[in-house]
């Protein structure tokens, strides 16, 4: 056993997740650690209170938050407190609160979302997509002729007005719900009349903690009815070191799914090597989205899976991603008060039109899919998250040399009509 754990009971050492156990030897004794503490399912109320008091008993200790939908608290604690918590009978696991980041490294016509707008009149109207990201700036394409930014929750800076000090979240929001107001309809999202709720969980560098993402999802579940949140977009992620059944972020997205919210998560940008899907994208239930390069053409015949797009299998030996969508050289909204402007001035990024910028990554593919999910739900509001995923996967178009299929909106909407006519139970039975 590592000398650091001298005096620890073996079962207490096993309470620590692998990342925390590996990190601990390199941490100075006077430093604190960000952790997520999971309580045992049968922990009594007095034990829960004991654990919370334990996590703030020393001067440097601090309880950050208690989650509502899973028995976990997030805290920053010193090593002495960590040792006591690991030995507490009411504690099941302690996870290192690791960093996550934004997955940033002609799209709408390619997946035929424009045909959905024209043929079915579907635009996502009345459906709300929650964007957990760096924030959302009040861009004209989201606020004119009417403001569709339905809500904003800042878990980083505690501001009340919607903003984006990085630019990633605004770009993502435009791919979902931009209406082309400033481009005379040239750059339009896949669900151009959907409402948005911005949940700022990443800082101005595009980074954040797992616990902050979890708090954001927890909040979305609580506010689902108020805002009619039917879809969550997660263009972010981190390394997966635990099975999905243990991973805290994975378990949080599962709660959203079970509460009737479709979760679309980016596969990641660690490809083309296999086994590079991170959390939360490695959860089997949710819709995990990889990226393709559409060659700037409207046909899918010349499309190919992006080199950077993460591949499966997952740490649990499951096939992922579930679907693919355009993720290279995607033009969407530019947050004017973000660092992206300086990168445009330096020539690092392309801005084809004032107020827009071109970015690449599975971060860009995921919101396109999230917008399509909003179209499906508008078309048939009785669809469950499982229905939406089944439709997206079953109706996808397979590309040469790629296992996951390419999102095909027209085929998806036709299949959604079958669900509307016969109901989910009969479709699954058949």
Set out the domains of the chain in order of their start, with CATH numbers: 3-97 (3.30.70.80), 101-425 (3.40.50.200)
Measured distance CA(199)–CA(217) in Å, rounded: 9
Is 263 within 8 Å of 234 (Cβ atoms)?
Answer: yes
Q: Where are the beta strands (DSSP E) in 165-261?
A: 195-200, 207-209, 229-234, 236-237
Measured distance CA(415)–CA(430) in Å, rounded: 13
**What pLDDT is attached to residue 428?**
46
**What pLDDT is attached to residue 427?**
47
| Three-class DSSP category at 230 | strand
Measured distance CA(381)–CA(251) in Å, rounded: 25
Q: Annotated catalytic, 184?
A: no
Q: Which of 183, 211, 363, 395 is catalytic?
A: 363
Q: Which of 88, 117, 139, 168 is catalytic?
A: 168
Helix (H) or strand (E) holding 214: helix 210-222
Q: Annotated catalytic, 363?
A: yes
Q: Which of 133, 141, 165, 247 is catalytic?
A: 133
Could you identify the residue written with the tokens 């922990």?
Answer: 43
Measured distance CA(130)–CA(224) in Å, rounded: 10
- Token pair of 323 as six digits: 């679907």
**What pLDDT is attached to residue 109?**
59
| 199 closest CA partner among 165, 156, 168 | 156
DSSP secondary structure string for all residues of 300-314: STT-EE-TTS-----
- Token pair of 165 as six digits: 């000090």
Is 416 within 8 Å of 383 (Cβ atoms)?
Answer: yes
The CA-based dihedral angle spanning residues 156, 157, 158, 159, taken in that order and rounded to the nearest 10 degrees = -130
**What pLDDT is attached to residue 59?**
86
Segment 65-87, tens digit of pLDDT: 889 999 999 999 999 999 999 99
- Token pair of 406 as six digits: 């390419």
Measured distance CA(235)–CA(279) in Å, rounded: 11
Measured distance CA(102)–CA(83) in Å, rounded: 33
Residue 411 φ/ψ, nearest 5 degrees: -60, -40
**What pLDDT is attached to residue 430?**
39
Segment 218-260, tens digit of pLDDT: 999 999 999 999 999 999 999 999 999 999 999 999 999 999 9
Averaged over successive runs of 10 residues, the pLDDT of the chain (430 residues) comes to 70 91 85 94 89 90 89 93 93 96 68 82 97 98 98 97 97 98 96 99 97 98 98 97 96 98 96 94 98 71 82 94 94 94 92 94 96 97 96 90 84 88 54
**What pLDDT is attached to residue 137?**
98
Measured distance CA(169)–CA(130) in Å, rounded: 11
Residue 33 φ/ψ, nearest 5 degrees: -125, 135
Is 327 within 8 Å of 406 (Cβ atoms)?
Answer: no
**What pLDDT is attached to residue 306?**
86
Q: Annotated catalytic, 133?
A: yes
**What pLDDT is attached to residue 116?**
86
CA dihedral sign, ordered 270, 272, 273, 274: positive
Measured distance CA(315)–CA(279) in Å, rounded: 10
DSSP state of 159: -
Backbone angle region of 355, left / alpha / beta, with phi > 0 → left and psi within -120 to 50 → alpha: left
- What are the counts of helices (DSSP H) followed by strands (DSSP E) for the chain? 16, 19
What is the β-pairing status of strands 99-102 and 72-78? unpaired
Measured distance CA(364)–CA(267) in Å, rounded: 11
């Amino acid at each position: 056993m590592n000398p650091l754990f001298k005096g620890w009971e073996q079962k207490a050492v096993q309470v620590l997740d692998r990342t925390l156990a590996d990190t601990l030897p390199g941490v100075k004794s006077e430093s604190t650690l960000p952790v997520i503490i999971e309580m045992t399912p049968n922990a009594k109320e007095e034990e829960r209170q004991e654990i919370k008091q334990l996590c703030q008993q020393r001067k440097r200790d601090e309880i950050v938050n208690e989650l509502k939908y899973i028995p976990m608290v997030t805290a920053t604690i010193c090593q002495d407190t960590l040792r006591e918590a690991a030995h507490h009978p009411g504690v099941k696991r302690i996870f290192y609160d690791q960093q996550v980041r934004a997955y940033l490294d002609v799209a709408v016509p390619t997946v035929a979302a424009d045909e959905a707008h024209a043929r079915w009149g579907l635009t996502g109207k009345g459906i709300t997509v929650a964007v957990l990201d760096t924030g959302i700036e009040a861009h004209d394409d989201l606020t004119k002729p009417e403001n569709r930014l339905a809500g904003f929750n800042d878990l980083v800076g505690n501001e009340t007005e919607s903003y984006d000090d990085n630019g990633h979240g605004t770009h993502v929001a435009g791919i979902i719900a931009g209406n082309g107001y400033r481009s005379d309809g040239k750059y339009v999202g896949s669900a151009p009349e959907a409402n948005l709720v911005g949940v700022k969980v990443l800082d101005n560098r595009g980074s954040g903690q797992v616990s902050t993402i979890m708090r954001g999802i927890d909040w979305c579940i609580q506010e689902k009815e108020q805002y009619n949140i039917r879809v969550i977009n997660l263009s972010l992620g981190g390394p997966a070191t635990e099975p999905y059944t243990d991973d805290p972020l994975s378990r949080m997205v599962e709660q959203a799914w079970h509460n009737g919210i479709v979760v679309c998560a980016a596969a990641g940008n660690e490809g083309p090597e296999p086994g590079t899907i991170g959390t939360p994208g490695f959860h089997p239930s949710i819709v995990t989205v990889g990226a393709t390069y559409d060659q700037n053409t409207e046909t899918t015949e010349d499309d190919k899976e992006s080199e950077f797009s993460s591949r499966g299998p997952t740490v649990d030996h499951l096939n992922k991603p579930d679907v693919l969508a355009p993720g290279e050289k995607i033009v969407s909204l530019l947050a004017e008060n973000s660092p992206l402007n300086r990168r445009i001035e330096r020539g690092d990024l392309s801005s084809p039109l004032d107020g827009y910028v071109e970015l690449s990554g599975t971060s860009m593919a995921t919101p396109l899919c999230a917008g399509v999910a909003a179209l499906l739900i508008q078309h048939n509001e009785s669809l469950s998250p499982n229905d939406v995923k089944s439709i997206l996967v079953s109706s996808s178009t397979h590309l040469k040399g790629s296992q996951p299929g390419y999102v095909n909106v027209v085929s998806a909407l036709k299949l959604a009509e079958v669900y509307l006519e016969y109901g989910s139970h009969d479709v699954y039975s058949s």
